[in-house]
Amino acid sequence: MTRSQDMERPFPTVAVVGLGTMGTGVAVAVARSGRRVIGIEATEDSAARALARIEEATAHAVDRERITAAERTALLARITVGHALTAAAEADLVIEEVPEQLELKREVFAELDRICPEGTVLATGTTALSVTRIAAATARPERVLGLHFFNPVHTMKLVEVVRTVLTSPQTAEDAAAFARDLGKEPVAAGDRAGFVVNGLLFAYLNQAAAMYESKYASREDIDAAMRLGCGLPMGPLALLDLIGVDTARTVLEAMYEQSRDKLHAPAPILGQLVSAGLLGRKSGRGFYTYEAPGSSRAVDAATGPARAKVPGRAVHTVGVCGSGTMATGIAEVFAKAGHPVLLAARSQEKADRAKAQLARSLERSVTKGRLSGDQRDAALALVTPVGQYSELAEVDLVVEAVAEDLAVKRELFAILDKIVRPGAVLATTTSSLPVISCATATSRPQDVIGMHFFNPAPAMKLVEVVSTVLTAPDVTATVLELTAKVRKHPVECGDRAGFIVNALLFPYLNDAVRMLQEHYATVDDIDTAMKLGCGYPMGPFELLDVVGLDVSLTIEQVLHQEFREPGLAAAPLLEHLVAAGCLGRKTGRGFRDHARR
């Protein structure tokens, strides 16, 4: 059967050249689809080891009940493994999975071009190298493309189908159909470093490495912030260790070579770790130290938010300023933890409405079984709505949650400075403004700190605790301890734009907008790629529409203003959508049209 006779099941015979971890996974996935697989390794010994890996992997699949013993027997019968590249002549499709070295891949493709019939399609599994330059080693560039599988192949649904300017449409269509027949989700990508997933992922990982290198925040706090603040399956530094620090550096070098964007230039710490042989899990040590090479168990990671032992201040009564969603959510957090809360707004009517909103939130928790009726009543009884800030005179902590406008916040802090008792802690929930600017509106900047809760505050575990250059150590200790007591996870950082989460999240979102703006990939393909390739709960455009494009633009502008990196400048497409009033879900239209859904 030839490919032209069976367009619904293209490529009945597939050769896989290079049977390391990825090659083995691809070979098994292809064989599971009912196709014949020709596995090719460099030497007779390496071929024998590769066959043993395939047998072990399929036995493990039987143990995990992913396949039956009978299916394993049939699968293995469809796989042959040898060390002669000439065996690829029998294949309709050849997938190359040799080490990530351009000249090595070009040599393999030149030889495959000589060996294989004219109609054979040649695919590279490269994660970072130019598919075009690999294709140029052949006389059939129209039948060369990238097929980027993700590890582990048996669980990861995504395949990036990478076209060069010379790849024929039919070749790309057949490759996508092949991926779907393996039970995968293909996304179309053009030939640029990193393609869709790595193009967005590695710039973010690189910035996280640079953030750690600058000692802005600890490993644990950076990783916890992105897991808890964004719902990501792993923190960036733990992910770098899993991927391999050397692999990450190689991908970033390839990206920088094409983009010349300083944000893609590998952080110096990556080179230092590679030079020292600290490559991550595979070597037993990278950003973390592991039980043994290949182990996933870090032995030097802190298990909780332990901090320097500075005595904190006593906090019993809490004042919350504001009447919006964040203010009521924060009041709920403290009340549920047993703290009397004064919920202060600019009028009694607004304060009463805010408490009513809080009551509805507590009622929903009872309905969902998260709270008992008695717990709801106890929390509600601890919240007193007040229409004058003067009522906050005797509280131990004031948390400001008013509009994200520096003039408004400074005015409020100046008022609080005159009202609230000496020694009380004054906190701002700002997500993008300088905490020091709030602090200098008072005569007691040493008592001012950032407490950045995430929305919705009752559900989100993360709080960024932001100390300025003037914040007293005992104030930082007080807020770290208190945050843990109200069952949140504090991460500690300094007072610079974006803190941890937004400083890492929004450049990634901006990169996705640029990718779309350049017509590199579609909204749906980019969102699908990041959800399936990285396990993200939402794609970047889904998230932008939820956050609000106007909010996102403001944060991008703040980051660019602070760090002055050209790569942080807001994408023009984002600016244009905001100017057009397309702000996301709240207006019915953003990157998607929500009014039609």
Domains in the chain: ranges and CATH: 13-191 (3.40.50.720), 197-298 (1.10.1040.10), 318-495 (3.40.50.720), 501-587 (1.10.1040.10)
- Rounded distance between C-alpha atoms, residue 77 and residue 463, angstroms: 55
* Nearest of 109, 154, 105 to residue 127 by alpha carbon: 105
Helix count and strand count (H, E) for the chain = 22, 16
- Rounded distance between C-alpha atoms, residue 462 and residue 232, angstroms: 13
> Can you read off the two tokens belonging to residue 530?
């990041």
> Can you read off the two tokens belonging to residue 275?
């030079």
Predicted confidence at residue 301, as pLDDT, reads 77
pLDDT in tens, 9-48: 899 999 999 999 999 999 999 999 999 999 999 999 999 9
Predicted confidence at residue 7, as pLDDT, reads 47
* Nearest of 73, 88, 1, 63 to residue 32 by alpha carbon: 73
- Rounded distance between C-alpha atoms, residue 379 and residue 267, angstroms: 47
Q: What is the pLDDT along the chain (597 residues), one digit of tens a residue?
A: 344 444 468 999 999 999 999 999 999 999 999 999 999 999 999 999 999 999 999 999 999 998 999 999 999 999 999 999 999 999 999 999 999 899 999 999 999 999 999 999 999 999 888 999 999 999 999 999 999 999 899 999 999 999 999 999 999 999 999 999 999 999 999 998 889 999 999 999 999 999 999 999 999 999 999 999 999 999 999 999 999 999 999 999 988 988 888 889 999 999 999 999 999 999 999 999 999 999 999 998 775 555 557 899 999 999 999 999 999 999 999 999 999 999 999 999 999 999 999 999 999 999 999 999 999 999 999 999 999 999 999 999 999 999 999 999 999 999 999 999 999 999 999 998 999 999 999 999 999 999 999 999 999 999 999 999 999 999 999 999 999 999 999 999 999 999 999 999 999 999 999 999 999 999 999 999 999 999 999 999 999 999 999 999 999 999 999 999 998 999 999 999 999 999 999 999 999 999 766
Residue 433, classed as helix, strand or coil, is coil
Note the pTM of the prediction, 2 decimals: 0.90
- Rounded distance between C-alpha atoms, residue 265 and residue 71, angstroms: 47
Predicted confidence at residue 569, as pLDDT, reads 95
Q: Provide the terminal-to-terminal Cα distance of the chain, rounded to the nearest Å.
A: 44
Contact call for residues 511 and 199 (beta carbons, < 8 A): yes
Predicted confidence at residue 8, as pLDDT, reads 65
